[in-house]
Structure 1
Amino acid sequence: MPSHAFTDHTPDSAPAASRRLMEATAQRLGYLPAPVGRLAASPHLLDGFLKLSGLFEATTLSPVEREVVILTIATRNACHVCVAMHTAKLQAMDAHPDLVAALRAREPLDDARLEAIRVFALDVLATAGAVPDAALEAFLAHGYTVQNALEVVLGIGTYTMSTLANRLTGAPLDEQLRPFAWEEEGQEVVV
């Protein structure tokens, strides 16, 4: 099915079970992101993503560590909407511009602890969770815990769902996020 087959729902046009979720998102962000309008076609997916992202936000990982996981998944899965949205979030958190640039470019991070979580997330993905003992030990050696390792898995699952859904629906980049547009090497930015 072509991505143009997905409707840009508003709370008035969305399935009834999505309306409350859309209104709460718009109230929290100050606008209704286009991806949310498209995901609203499946109230279950929209509700699941919002619940899982809320759970991920409540983990013991720091806000910056969570964003490292998210941007690692977003760039790996080439979700231009997610990269822009989480670049904006890091900027609002006053994250160092070099950190943001490295994450967007899929390059190693200068901060050894943040690099450890980035590498660990990629290891979990590359091995479908069957991370070698040495990789887990390297992650733990940077002060992370086994709880943190499982929280990384939660972030991977949550943002894999989001990135795949956004790509499937062809979610456009909202005007508010255009300053943070991202282009994967060799591909055009979809706006």
Structure 2
Amino acid sequence: MPASAFPVHTLESAPPAARRTMEAVSRKQGYLPSAVALLASSPELLDGFLKISALFESTTLDPLSREALIMTMAVRNECHVCVAMHSAKLTALDAAPEVLAALREQRVVPDERLEAMRQFTLSVIATAGAVDDGTLQAFLAHGYTTRNALEVVLGIGAYTMSTLGNRMTGASPDPQMAAFA
């Protein structure tokens, strides 16, 4: 289905079940991101992603590790709106510019711990979760835990929904994210 088939909803045109979520996002962000307006065609996907994303944010993974996972997913799945949004978030977290550049370019990250997150995320995807013991041990050797390994699965699930939905709808970075596109 061509991206133009998906309407960019307003609060008035959105399905009633999506309106409360859209209002909450708009209040939090100060504007209604176009990705949210596009995903509103499925209130269930929009609400599900935001709930799972909030759960992922509440995990024991540190913020930079979570963002390394998200950027790995965004770049891998070529979700340009996600790359812009999470580049902004990494910048706000004071991530080193070379870390951000490496994540965006799918290169080795100069921070060994974040590189371990990137590699583990890619392994979990490539093996559909059946990572071998050596891969798990390499992840754990960088200070991560078995709980963190399972939290990676949660992050992959959340950002699979987001990146695939955004690509299907043709979401692009909003003007507020232009500097990070």
For the aligned pair, the TM-score class normalised by the smaller chain equals over 0.9
Distance 1:79 1:89 in 2: 15
Alignment partner, residue 59 of structure 2 = 59
Q: Cα RMSD (Å) of the superposition?
A: 0.6
- Identity score, percent: 64
Deviations 1:113-161 (A, max 9, x none): 1111110000001111110111001101111111000001100110011
Alignment partner, residue 113 of structure 1 = 113
Alignment partner, residue 88 of structure 2 = 88
Q: Secondary structure at the match of 2:83?
A: helix
User: What does residue range 10-29 of structure 1 map to in structure 2 within 5 Å?
Assistant: 10-29=10-29
Distance 2:29 2:176 in 1: 11
Q: Secondary structure at the match of 2:108?
A: coil
Q: Secondary structure at the match of 1:94?
A: coil
Alignment partner, residue 9 of structure 1 = 9
Alignment partner, residue 46 of structure 1 = 46
Alignment partner, residue 74 of structure 1 = 74
Stretches of structure 1 lacking an aligned partner (at least 5 in a row): 182-191
1:172 is displaced (CA, Å) by 2.3
1:174 aligns with 2:137: no
Deviations 1:71-107 (A, max 9, x none): 0000000000000000011111111111100100011
Alignment partner, residue 144 of structure 1 = 144
Distance 1:153 1:180 in 2: 27
Distance 2:112 2:175 in 1: 34
Task: Provide TM-score, normalisation by structure 1.
Answer: 0.93
Alignment partner, residue 99 of structure 1 = 99
Q: Which runs of 4+ in 1 moved over 3 A?
A: none
1:173 is displaced (CA, Å) by 1.7
Alignment partner, residue 187 of structure 1 = none
Number of residue-to-residue matches in the alignment: 181
Distance 2:171 2:122 in 1: 25
User: What amino acid is aligned across from residue 13 of structure 2 in structure 1?
Assistant: S
Stretches of structure 2 lacking an aligned partner (at least 5 in a row): none
Distance 1:112 1:91 in 2: 19
